[in-house]
Structure 1
Amino acid sequence: MAVVAVSLWVATLIVPGIDDTAGTTSTRIGTLVVVALIFGLVNAVLKPLIKVVGCPFYVLTLGLIGLVVNALLFLLVGYIASGIGLPFTVQSFGAAFVGAIVVAVVGFILHFLIPDRFDQR
């Protein structure tokens, strides 16, 4: 969860249209942690369902539809976060598209740099 929160923070810094407008540093951190929880829940519940239902589209597009699905899920996370009153917004599909790529790349790099304790068996 910490890796996702840091990835979301990097996305708010890099991608115009993704904003964390909380006032203080502690509220920004809290907002990012809650948004990371929402992000995890959305990806855990909806993404497998979408992959099963949309399997033919994944095959037809050689997996490129996954980028669009990730962007739509990221847009949904922003909508849910702003809907429950968090100062986190994703303003457009383009911002969600680039933001989803940034979160994935930063998450990959952080997971590579910070190995899980289960990997050290």
Structure 2
Amino acid sequence: MKTFIKNDFYIQVYFLVGGLLSIFVGIAVGWGIMPFYFIVGIPQLISFLVKIFQKRKKSISYIIYGLFIMPVWISFLIMFMFKNNHEVTNFFGTILIVSLLYSPFLAILYVYDNYKLYKYQK
């Protein structure tokens, strides 16, 4: 458990820094800042899902992160599945657009929560 917490913290920091660097690369190649969301978001989603099944008390910031990020990934899947149904995609697309504003803050919150957990374990 201690090893997972330590490794998870360092992996999240690594991907956060990589995501920040991907902003510059993405702008240079014409993708904009979109690579940041996937480079940072996918490892955080995996970490979040692994932690759901751990028998550890969940922090308030972990719960807040889950309440705001899980609808984003669910909306992304629904948008992919119903790409030709505009009534469905308009609603879930709105969720995705709004999440572009708050997900970078949640990414930082998640890394900070991992940091507190890591320091608590030392």
Q: Do Structure 1 and Structure 2 share a fold, with TM-score over 0.5?
A: no
- The one of the two structures with greater contact order (alpha-carbon pairs below 8 A, sep at least 6) is 1
Structure of greater Rg = 2
Q: TM-score range by the shorter chain?
A: 0.3 to 0.5
